[in-house]
Amino acid sequence: MTYLDYQATTPIAPEVEQAMAPWIADRFANPHSPSRWGNEAEAAIEVARKRIEKAVDLRGGRIAFTGSATEALNWALKGTVENARATRQDGRNRVITVATEHAAVLDTCEWLAEQGIDLTILPVDREGRLDLDLLARELDDRVLMVAVMMVNNEIGVTQAISAISRMAHGVGAIMVCDAVQAFGRVEICEGPDLVALSAHKIHGPKAIGALWMRKGKEPAPLIHGGGQELGLRSGTLSPALCVGFGAAAKLAAERMTKDYDLVQRLSAAAKHALGPDWIINGSTAHRYPGNLSIRRDGIDAARLLADLRDMAFSLGSACASGSGRPSHVLRAIGLDYREARSSIRLGFGRYTTQQDLVAACKQLATAAKAQEHLVA
């Protein structure tokens, strides 16, 4: 099996597995209990927190653990609206986001719109980038919050997060950034007030995320209860998951340059092996190289996936739900239905070998060519 779906999730690093093991086996104490065992678990969580904060490398804030990045984004968006309502900033009722955001942002924003928020979803250009002049025209003192992701999960395109944050701050708005696909792979841009992170995209465990919060911009709690995480996010923390996230973040920070150089080399090798018939979706200049979203005219990508069962990659045409609907991201960059249906996403990283990737790309190219003969 050649695993080429690093945007969906990543394999657990051996170092992470090792760090988690004792906290799964016999060190089971509740980290919020006052016993010695509880204190040890709490101390391990605090070490993990520091490691993640160091890897985020932004000044003036802290992280709170969450159950996923989806939860972190829900919390950031809904909690910021809640804060504005509680402090009677009623004049600020607008939220601006972008058409290529993850469903965790788009669906939450749509829900906020149903609750009375004035929502603006800005388009992107054919490269998948937000036009900053367009954003500038939309910004005024009615805007409460701007939410833009750093690296797109489907096409790998990056946005100018520091510039966008400066513009949002210029009108007094709060900047939310989904950095799930960026964290541990590239440096996090300075500027955002709230940054969502996920462990399983950086060789850590699933079902744990975090929200980095600038001091004074913490969203109102979404989850109420025992008052954990400074009363901002209740619920017993899992020492195993927190320690695993911390180990993954430390490793990612230490290896960032090495991993980035590797994905750059892998990307070049993959493009060479695929041959000239494939077109890259989105910007080639502003993208994370470990995400190769490509299409080839006339092919049925779903058929490719069915033909190549020993390979894991993603389709551009269907959402995660397998609905078969063209992806909202590919539509947003102007692809028509046929182009979206002929798109695939290859995602690779730390544990991908060039040999496996090249072999997989050659298989893909052959299978795609075979479809041409079928049509002819």
The DSSP letter of residue 178 is: E
CB 99 within 8 A of CB 121: yes
Residue corresponding to tokens 């989850």: 223
User: Of 308 and 319, which has the nearer Cβ to ligand PLP?
Assistant: 319
* Smallest distance, ligand PLP to C-beta of residue 70, A: 3
User: Of 156 and 191, which has the nearer Cβ to ligand PLP?
Assistant: 156
* Smallest distance, ligand PLP to C-beta of residue 273, A: 26
Distance CA 10, CA 252 (A): 12
User: Of 186 and 299, which has the nearer Cβ to ligand PLP?
Assistant: 186
User: Of 104 and 135, which has the nearer Cβ to ligand PLP?
Assistant: 104
CB 185 within 8 A of CB 290: yes
Catalytic residue (choose from 189, 242, 319, 361): 319
The DSSP letter of residue 29 is: -
List C-alpha distances in Å: 356 to 20, 229, 235, 301.
Answer: 29, 43, 42, 20
Chain residues in the site for ligand PLP (CB under 6 A)? 68-70, 102, 104, 149, 153, 178, 180-181, 198, 209
What does the block give as tokens for 252? 């990612």
* Smallest distance, ligand PLP to C-beta of residue 76, A: 11
> Which of 229, 172, 187 minimizes the C-alpha distance to 54?
187
Distance CA 289, CA 180 (A): 15
* Smallest distance, ligand PLP to C-beta of residue 10, A: 11
| Amino acid at position 276, single letter | P
Residue corresponding to tokens 């058409």: 99
Residue corresponding to tokens 């990307």: 267
* Smallest distance, ligand PLP to C-beta of residue 68, A: 3
Beta strands in 223-327 (DSSP E): 279-280, 291-295, 311-312, 314-315
Active site residue 319: yes
Beta strands in the chain (DSSP E): 2-3, 61-66, 94-98, 118-122, 143-147, 174-178, 194-198, 209-214, 279-280, 291-295, 311-312, 314-315, 343-347
Residue 113 CA from chain centroid, whole number? 23
User: Of 13 and 139, which has the nearer Cβ to ligand PLP?
Assistant: 13
User: Of 153 and 327, which has the nearer Cβ to ligand PLP?
Assistant: 153
* Smallest distance, ligand PLP to C-beta of residue 24, A: 20
* Catalytic center residues: 319
